[in-house]
Amino acid sequence: MITLTHYVVVSALLFVFGMFAVLTRRNAIAILMGIELILNAANLNFAAFSKYVVGGVQGQMIAVFVIVLAAAEAAVALAIILDIYQKVGTISPDETRELKG
Amino acid sequence: MSPAILLIILFAPLAAFAVQILFGRRLFAPKEGEQNRIAGAAVPILGVLVSLALTLIYVLPSMFQPTDPFTLPADGNGAAWIDMAGGMELRIGLMLDNTSRVLLFMVTLVCSMIHLFAAGYMKLRDGLPEPRYTRFFAYLSLFTFAMLLLVVSDNLLTLFVGWELMGLCSYLLIGFYYEKKSAQDASLKAFMTTRVGDVLLFVGMAILWTHLGSLRFADIHAGMEAGNLSGGTLTLAGLLCLGGAIGKSAQFPLHTWLPDAMEGPTPVSALIHAATMVAAGVYLAARLLQAAVLDAAALMTLAYVGAFTAVFAASIAFVQNDIKRVLAYSTISQLGYMMLAVGVGSYTAAVFHMLTHAFFKACLFLGSGSVIHAMHDGLHHVHSHADAQDMRNMGGLRKKMPRTHLTFLISTLAIAGAPLTAGFLSKDAVLAGALAYGMKNPGHFLLPALGFLAALMTAFYMFRLVFGTFYGEFGARANEHDRELVLQAEPHLHESPAIMTVPLIVLALGALWAFWSPMDPMSKGWIGETVVQHEVWTDHGAANVAEGGADSHDAHNGVYHTAHIVTIALSIGVAAVGFLFALLFFGLRVLSSERFAQSNFARMLERKYGFDELYDWAFVRNLLRVCNASGAVDLKIVDGLVNGVGSAFVSARRSFTWLTGAIDRLVVDGAVNGVGRSLRWIGAVFRRAQSGLIQNYLLVIFTGLAALIFIVAMGLR
C-alpha cells in the first residue's frame, strides 16, 4: 500500500536531486533542469497532500498550473540563455557575472 | 502466460535504454584511436532479443488457442491511474488480443534484425569511428519500448504515450547527424508536421472522454453500443482521431515529412520510417474501427485519403533518383493501401498488409543500406564526392553483392505483388476488400480502381530501382563530372559483413509466402484465421460500410469470394504490366524515357507537386510574419511607451534639481557625505558576499532554508 509518506519521500528525493543539480552544474541548461526537478517535487507534494489530507482536486489543479508555468518559464529561460550565449560565448554561470558588486 | 512475462517483454528494452543512456559512454565508448566495439550495442541488442525470445515462446503460440484476450490486471477492467474526486478517473491496462500478439511478434523480430544490422552499419562514419555509437542504440531501445507499449495498450491514453515517445525518438534519430543542416531541418519538419496530427488526435480523445468517461477500447466500444455518442459529434471525433493517424502514417496532406526523414541513418529509416512507427497510424485506425468509433463518413474519408495517397506517392517515386527516397515514397503509397483497407472495413487485410509490409520494406531499406554502405566505402577509397545514394552512380551491383541483390529482389517481388510472395497474399486481401466494397457500392468504383492503378505503378518504379541499382553497367549513368572517379571505385566495392547480411536473409524469408500461408499460397493463411475482428458489426452508422467490407458477418456470401478471384487475376496482370514497362525502359533500354524526363509533368513530379513550396508559402512564412509583427509591436509600441515615460521623468527631474541644487549642496551634502562614507566602508565589507556567482547565492538560500526548517521543527517538538 502506498501511503502519503512514500510520496513525501520521493518528493524530498526529487527536491534534493534538483537542488544538487542547481548547485553543482556548470551549464545553465543543466541548472534549468534542476529547477524543473524542484518544481516537480513541489507538484508531487501538491497532488499527494490533496489526495491524502485535503481531498478534492485543488492540489492537482495547482500542479497543472505549475506545469504550465514551468513550460513558460523554460521557454523564457532558454531564450535568455541563447541570448547570453550569443553575447558572451558561454552559458556557464561562473563566466557570466556582469551583476557582480 | 503469467503477467510477469508480458511485463518483461515490455520493459526489457526500456531497461536497456536506461543502462545505455546512463552508463553507455563510460562503459562502451571507444578509447582514443580505437575502432568502435560491438560491445557498445550489446545491451540494447540483448534487451530486444529477450523480448523477441519471450514473444516467440509464450505469446505467438497462444494465438491459436481460442481464449479471451489476455489482460493485465486480470479482471479486464484496468487499473485506475488517475483517480480524482467527483467520480473522474482514468483507467489504464495492458491487453493482448490476436492483433496485438502478432504485432508484438512483428515488432520484436524486425527490431532485433535492425539492431543487429545497425551494429555493423553504424560502426564508421567517413572512415572514422562513429562518436555517438552508444547513444544511437540507446535511442533505438527507447523506440522499441515505445512501439511495444503502443501495441499492448488497452486504452488510448498509454497508446498516446507510446505514440509521442516514438515521435520523440523519430526526431532524435532523423537529426542524428545534427552537424548537417539538412538533417536538423528534416528532424524539425518531421516533428512539427506530425505534431499537427497529434493535436487533432488529442482533441479527438478529449471528445471521446467527455462523452464516454473512459479511454479504454473496451469501454469505448461499450459506450458506442449504448449509444452515448452519435451524430455529428461522433463523426467529428472519428475524423479528429484519424487526423493523428494520417499525420503519423504520412498520408496526404501531411505526407511531406517522410521523404525528408531519410536524412536519418538507414537502419532508422528501415525501423521507424518503414516498418513500425509509420504503421502505428494504421494500427490506431484499425483499433478505432474495432471500437466502432469510425462512422460511415469518417471511414469514407479515410478510404479516399488512402487510395489517393497510394497513387499520388507512387507517381512521385517515378522520377526520384535517391534510392532511399524512392523507398520512402513507396512506403507512403503502401501505407495508403492499408488506410484504404481500414476505410473499406477490411480489418484483417489492413493488419496483414501491415505485417508483410514490415518484413519486405525493412528488408528493402536494409538492402539499400547495404548498397549505400558499399558505395560509401568505395567512393571514400578514391576520394570521390559523388552521391553514394544516387542510383545513377550505381548499376551492375548484383555481381559485387550477391546476397544483398537476392534479398532485395525477393522483397521487390513481394512489394510488387508477384505470386508466391507475402506481398501477393496481403495486397490481394486489401484489393479484394476494396473491390468487394466497390461491387456493393458501385458509386465508389474509384476506390478499387485507384488501388489497382497503384499496384501497377508500384511494380514499375520498384523494378526501375532494381534495374538501376543491380543491373547494367556500373557508373554508366553518372554525370560527366563524377564519372571518372566513380568508375575507379568499382574494384573497392564489396559485399557487407555477415552481421548485416543475416538480418537481410531473415527478413527476406518473411517476405515469402511459406511463413504466412504454407498450405495455400493464395489465401490469408493463419492470419486470416486468427486475426479477425471479434466484434460483429453493429448499426452505429458504420453498417452500410461494413456490408461491403471483407470481414463483415456476410463475408462469405459470394461478393467477397467473387471479388477475390477477380482480384487475383487482375493484380497479377497489373504487376506483370508494370514489370514489363520497367523492363523495356530500364532493363533492356529498348524504349527511352528521355522524352518523358524532359516533360513538364516530370518536372512537376520532381518537385513533388510543389507541396513543400506550398506549405512554406502558406504556413511557415506567415508564421514568421506573425512573429516578426509581434516583435515589432514589442520594439516600437511597448518600448516606446516605456522610453517616453522615462524621458518625461528625466526632464521633470532636471528642472526640480535646478531649484533644489543650491540647498542641497550647502546643507544636505555635509550630512550625506558623512553617511555615504560610512556606508561605503560597510559596502566594501559586504560586497564580497555579492560574488556574482548565482550558485553561491543559492547555496546560502538553501542553507538558510534548511536552518529555518530545523528551527521550526525543533520549536514544534
Q: Model confidence over B411-462: pLDDT tens digits? A: 998 898 888 888 888 888 888 888 888 887 777 888 888 988 898 889 888 9
Beta carbons of B693 and A94 less than 8 Å apart = yes
For the cut 70, the answer to whether the pLDDT of residue B521 exceeds it is: no
**Which residue in A has a C-alpha nearest to residue B86's C-alpha?**
A56
A97 touches chain B (CB under 8 A): yes
Tell how strand B89-92 and strand B94-96 pair up.
Answer: unpaired
B83 three-class SS: strand
Residue B556's pLDDT is 44
Beta carbons of B693 and A56 less than 8 Å apart = no
Calpha distance B688→B584 (Å, rounded): 85
Q: Which residues of A touch B680 (CB under 8 A)?
A: none
B87 touches chain A (CB under 8 A): no
For residue A18, give how far its alpha carbon lies from the nearest alpha carbon of chain B (Å). 12
Residue B164's pLDDT is 92
Q: Which residues of A touch B702 (CB under 8 A)?
A: 19, 23
Distance linking the first and last C-alpha atoms of chain B: 54
> Looking at per-residue confidence, does B616 or B509 come out higher?
B509
Give the B window 617-676 contacts with A, CB below 8 Å: none
Beta strands in B475-586 (DSSP E): none
Q: Which residues of B touch A100 (CB under 8 A)?
A: 690-692
- Closest partner CB to A57 (pick from B85, B690, B699): B85
Query: In the structure grid, which three cell numbers stand for residue B123, read together?
Result: 560502426
- Closest Cα partner for B11 from B109, B117, B152, B128? B152
* Three-state SS sequence of B587-625: HCCCCCCHHHHHCHHHHHHHCHHHHHHHHHHHHHHHHHH
B657-to-B663, B666, B667 alpha-carbon distances in Å? 10, 14, 15
> Looking at per-residue confidence, does B668 or B169 come out higher?
B169
Range with lowest mean pLDDT among B68-72, B212-216, B674-678: B68-72
Q: Which residues of B touch A23 (CB under 8 A)?
A: 695, 698-699, 702
Range with lowest mean pLDDT among B176-190, B369-383, B404-418: B369-383
Q: Which residues of B touch A57 (CB under 8 A)?
A: 84-86, 88
CB B133 within 8 A of CB B119: no
A94 touches chain B (CB under 8 A): yes
B84 touches chain A (CB under 8 A): yes
- Closest Cα partner for B16 from B148, B131, B128? B148
CB B186 within 8 A of CB B260: yes
**Which residue in A has a C-alpha nearest to residue B699's C-alpha?**
A23
B311 torsion bin: left (phi>0), alpha (psi -120 to 50), beta (else): alpha
CB B274 within 8 A of CB B227: no
- Mean pLDDT to the nearest integer, B71-93: 77
For the cut 80, the answer to whether the pLDDT of residue B661 exceeds it is: no
Cell 489530507 locates to A53
Distance of CA B549 to the CA centre of its chain: 28
Query: In the structure grid, which three cell numbers stand for residue B433, read together?
Result: 476488400
- Mean pLDDT to the nearest integer, B553-574: 71
Continuous H helices in B344-421: 347-381, 397-400, 402-416
Which residues does residue B216 pair with via DSSP β-bridges, in sequence order? Answer: B155
Range with lowest mean pLDDT among B70-79, B553-562, B581-590: B553-562
Beta carbons of A100 and B699 less than 8 Å apart = no
Query: In the structure grid, which three cell numbers stand for residue B454, read together?
Result: 497503384
B702 touches chain A (CB under 8 A): yes
**pLDDT tens digit sequence for B523-545:** 777 777 777 664 444 333 343 34
Calpha distance B228→B291 (Å, rounded): 13
Query: In the structure grid, which three cell numbers stand for residue B716, read together?
Result: 514544534
Beta carbons of A93 and B84 less than 8 Å apart = no
Distance of CA B269 to the CA centre of its chain: 9
Beta carbons of B692 and A99 less than 8 Å apart = yes
Which backbone phi and psi does B68 adopt, to 5 degrees? Answer: -70, 165
Q: What is the pTM of this model?
A: 0.78
- Mean pLDDT to the nearest integer, B95-114: 89
Residue B147's pLDDT is 93
**pLDDT tens digit sequence for B293-340:** 888 888 888 889 999 999 988 888 888 888 888 899 999 999 998 999
A29 touches chain B (CB under 8 A): no
For residue B39, give how far its alpha carbon lies from the nearest alpha carbon of chain A (Å). 29
**pLDDT tens digit sequence for B121-160:** 888 777 777 778 888 889 999 999 999 999 999 888 899 9
> Looking at per-residue confidence, does B407 or B82 come out higher?
B407
Q: Which residues of A touch B86 (CB under 8 A)?
A: 57
A25 three-class SS: coil
Beta carbons of A97 and B86 less than 8 Å apart = no
For residue A94, give how far its alpha carbon lies from the nearest alpha carbon of chain B (Å). 6
- Count CB atoms within 10 A of the CB of residue B141: 30
**What ipTM, to 2 d.p.?**
0.73
Distance linking the first and last C-alpha atoms of chain A: 53
Beta carbons of B690 and A57 less than 8 Å apart = no
Calpha distance B429→B12 (Å, rounded): 35
CB B430 within 8 A of CB B341: yes
Residue B550's pLDDT is 43
Residue A101's pLDDT is 52
Q: Which residues of A touch B698 (CB under 8 A)?
A: 22-23
The dihedral over CA atoms of B436, B439, B443, B447, expressed in degrees to the nearest 10, equals 40
- Closest partner CB to B698 (pick from A22, A57, A100): A22
- Mean pLDDT to the nearest integer, B694-702: 84
Beta carbons of A100 and B702 less than 8 Å apart = no
Beta carbons of A100 and B694 less than 8 Å apart = no
Question: What would you measure as the largest C-alpha separation in chain A, in angstroms?
Answer: 53
Best interface-test mutation with B: which of A29, A37, A84, A99 has the largest number of B CBs within 10 A?
Answer: A99
Exposed/middle/buried for A75, CB within 10 Å: 0-12, 13-18, 19+? exposed
**Which residue in A has a C-alpha nearest to residue B700's C-alpha?**
A23
**Which residue in A has a C-alpha nearest to residue B702's C-alpha?**
A19
**Which residue in A has a C-alpha nearest to residue B698's C-alpha?**
A23
For residue A34, give how far its alpha carbon lies from the nearest alpha carbon of chain B (Å). 12
- Mean pLDDT to the nearest integer, B173-194: 88
Which residues does residue B94 pair with via DSSP β-bridges, in sequence order? Answer: B72, B153
For residue B218, give how far its alpha carbon lies from the nearest alpha carbon of chain A (Å). 27
- Mean pLDDT to the nearest integer, B20-49: 77
Calpha distance B312→B424 (Å, rounded): 21
Beta carbons of B85 and A97 less than 8 Å apart = no
- Closest Cα partner for B230 from B167, B162, B298? B298
Q: What string of pLDDT tens digits covers the 101 residues of chain A? A: 788 999 999 999 999 999 999 888 888 899 999 999 999 999 999 999 988 888 778 888 999 999 999 999 999 999 999 988 888 888 887 777 766 65
Calpha distance B289→B440 (Å, rounded): 20
For residue B610, give how far its alpha carbon lies from the nearest alpha carbon of chain A (Å). 34
For residue B268, give how far its alpha carbon lies from the nearest alpha carbon of chain A (Å). 28
Beta carbons of A22 and B693 less than 8 Å apart = no
User: What is the average pLDDT score of chain B?
Assistant: 82
A85-to-A22, A91, B85, B235, B685 alpha-carbon distances in Å? 19, 6, 47, 50, 32
Residue A57's pLDDT is 83
Helix%, strand%, coil% for chain B, nearest 5: 75, 5, 20
Q: Which residues of B touch A101 (CB under 8 A)?
A: 683, 687, 690, 692
Name the helix (H) or strand (E) containing B575: helix B559-582
For residue B306, give how far its alpha carbon lies from the nearest alpha carbon of chain A (Å). 37
Beta carbons of B695 and A22 less than 8 Å apart = yes
CB B16 within 8 A of CB B44: yes
Q: How many CB pairs under 8 A join A and B?
A: 35
Beta carbons of A93 and B690 less than 8 Å apart = no
Beta carbons of A93 and B693 less than 8 Å apart = yes
B91 three-class SS: strand
B605-to-B178, B315, B416, B602, B619 alpha-carbon distances in Å? 29, 7, 21, 5, 22
For the cut 80, the answer to whether the pLDDT of residue B386 exceeds it is: no
Calpha distance B127→B617 (Å, rounded): 40
Q: Which residues of B touch A28 (CB under 8 A)?
A: none
Calpha distance B407→B502 (Å, rounded): 10
Q: Which residues of A touch B80 (CB under 8 A)?
A: none
Beta carbons of A97 and B698 less than 8 Å apart = no
Calpha distance B225→B264 (Å, rounded): 45
Residue B25 — very low, low, confident or very high, per pLDDT cuts 50/70/90? confident
For the cut 70, the answer to whether the pLDDT of residue B372 exceeds it is: yes
For residue A24, give how far its alpha carbon lies from the nearest alpha carbon of chain B (Å). 8
Best interface-test mutation with B: which of A24, A62, A80, A97 has the largest number of B CBs within 10 A?
Answer: A97
Beta carbons of B695 and A99 less than 8 Å apart = no
Which backbone phi and psi does B390 adopt, to 5 degrees? Answer: -85, 120
Peptide bond preceding B69 in cis form (omega within 30 of 0): no
